[in-house]
A and B are shown apart, each in its own frame.
Chain A
Amino acid sequence: MKTRLTELLGINIPILLSGMSWISVPKLVAAVSNAGGLGILATSILRPEETRESIREIRSLTDKPFGCNVPLARPNARENAGVFLEEQVPVINYALGKGDWLIREAHKYGGKVFATVVNSRHAKRAQEDGADGVIATGNEAGAHGEAVTTMVLIPSLADVLKIPIVAAGGIADGRGLAAALALGADGVAMGTRFMTTRESPLPQSYKRLSIEKDVTDTLYSPRIDGMHCRVLKTDAAERAIRKGVDFLAAFVSSREIAARMNIPHLKLFFRVLASGYKNAVQMAYMANGFKAFRLATEEGNVEKGILPVGQITGLLHDEPQVADLMERMVMEAEKVQAKLSGQLHGRSD
């Protein structure tokens, strides 16, 4: 396949691995890049030295292009982004924040920068800031989509952007890939689909759940991690949404975060308290969400963990190898193309 995205990034297949904490680790990143797509490392839960190790590990596993993701609003984001620049990571993907400085620095060594956006306002700003492309996340996506669905978001962006668009949310097969291209995207990013592959570190308990569930088996709520977030519908997720903000639990959960980030716990705690009630509530959600996500993705704890997944989990029915999955998607897209070309020439089947 050949699109503006494959040309820009020097890849064979216009499929990206979304940067998912605890899931998009070097092994999975390298698997996607080696299969002809672009793997993206998630760094929001990594310390700068871990980020550097991970980048080096990816380089030991593949000589193909890869990317790193950083949500700019999170602690350690600047430090991690600094590591990307020092290591001259080929593709940088930022979310939640203004990335103009990052774009400038990356362009100095020829790096490409993609902004993750959820509406046309954000997308236009990213283009003005000099981004090389956007990853557009629809409502159906796992974790943080906004209200607008991929079907509407992609053409809305295609009407106002000149830079390539990667569609994220609602895509797991060749039909979705073909549909995204039809809407005006230049490629797709997948999270939920790659989560349930052989190379993914997601524990078997959740891979099984992800295959069993239907398209209606997700929940979308701001009461998981403080932002509107789509997760697998489980008892734990429903409980968390019913309960709302839990400061006591957040105090305990934030200890884990402080330890990960090398920040003294009480310092982090008072810093959050001093930032005002509204922000403190959001931070409390974030701390509890962080813990629940870790319990799911790292420990496979179905009772207490919460897993962000997209609605497309309803279409999964197997756990393929990454390379097989991507090859299959290209073949499916070719089949769709053959069928549509028939419909275009007057064959109705």
Chain B
Amino acid sequence: MIKTPMTEMFGIQHPIMLAGMNWISTPQLVAAVCNAGGLGTLATAQYSPEDVRKHIREIRELTDRPFMINQPLHRGWAKENIQAAMEEKIPFINYSLGKPWFIDQVHAYGGKVVGTIAIAKHAVRAAELGCDALIVTGHEAAAHGAEATSLVLIPFVTRMVKIPIIAAGGFCDGRGLAAALSLGAAGISMGTRFILTQESRVHENFKQICLKATEQDTLYSTAFDGMPGRALKTPVAEKLVQGDSFSLLRAIPNALEIKKILKQSWGQFFGTAWKMMSGEGENLVQMARLANGTVRHQKAIFEGDTKEGFMFCGQVTGPICDLPAVKELVERIIGEAETTLRRIGGLIVP
């Protein structure tokens, strides 16, 4: 057993959380992680408010443990989804990309707010705004890490803020958990490792590619969805990085597809597009990449389409080589971490 400020704050057994991954962190996976003693996180970015409520109900049928939702604040149904989560009194709300307006309201019902950051100075701002904990994403992570790596970013941020830090990016086993705790983190968040479990719905094709991949088989580029992000190195991903000449043309049907996924009205659809172009200063290419990337990512997860789809994936796919059940995985990681902590104890103080 390992007790840290993370296990205390979230009332969980083990200092391990499931990262909120679009379409992947489903009610089944969330509940599996909760039931294994960790913290499951439902990703709501690609859901309408009705879908959010539906999925919350599903999780509650599968587990009575606390769980978290993850919502990027900059687009889609952010306001409505956060509202739905608060009405459902979700104990933990994790946000990224934007300024949280709901911290006091969440605190009022006894909930906690967790910010996700990849740049150190954002950590200070999030702490000042009243966040209860932070998820700190290193360069090695799947999707949107920044330049600073976990090994450097975690001790840097723990020195700047007093709230508990959950380290994300580069973690898949007990050695990594022990390293994160050594650096001052209160626990770890894992995405890629939970993608490669029995309960994950990611298509077998991509699970198998991940299992065979080495630590060198990821690419980091803005080509995937317009933001710097890390994806599995497949022929499609390599082609995207080299430049997709039809990206603007493809973006139109893909944007419409996203409208359908999010169940947006035409008004909301054009509103989002206008907001992205005017308010956030994103250009047409970035918007096209977001639309195309979203659809391609979905194709990989659901259809296992290796001709069109790509998969966000961390460097840690290298050392991962099996598909355990979530419970077995969490127990193994804790066992390894305990062994590791005793081992390094013996090295440091022989």
Contact = CB atoms under 8 A, between A and B. Distances in A.
Interface of A: 1-3, 119-121, 138-140, 146-153, 155-156, 158-159, 169-171, 173, 175-176, 178-184, 214-216, 218, 220, 310-312, 314-315, 330, 333-334, 336-337, 340-341, 343-344, 346-349
B348 interface: yes
Contacts of B268: none
Contacts of A348: 3-5, 7-8
B344 interface: yes
A2 B176 contact: no
A151 B1 contact: no
A2 B5 CA distance: 30
A181 B347 contact: yes
B223 interface: no
The dominant DSSP class at the A interface is helix
Given A139-B149, A183-B179, A215-B153, A152 B184 contact: no
B234 to A, nearest CB: 16
Interface stretch (B35-43, B238-246, B313-321): B313-321
A183 B348 contact: no
Interface in B280-321: 314-316, 318-319
17 contacts: A1-B350, A119-B214, A140-B152, A149-B315, A152-B215, A153-B215, A156-B318, A175-B155, A176-B151, A176-B155, A181-B348, A311-B149, A336-B348, A337-B349, A343-B3, A346-B1, A348-B8
Interface stretch (B25-33, B80-88, B103-111, B335-343): B335-343
Contacts, number: 180
Given A175-B182, A182-B175, A341 B341 contact: yes
Contacts of A147: 216, 218, 220, 315
Interface string B174-185: 011011111110
B72 interface: no
B120 A216 contact: yes
B76 interface: no
A156 B319 contact: yes
Contact of B315 (A152, A218, A344): A152
A156 B340 contact: no
Interface string B320-343: 000000000000000000101111
Contacts of B138: 149, 151
A152 to B, nearest CB: 4
Interface in B1-37: 1-5, 7-8
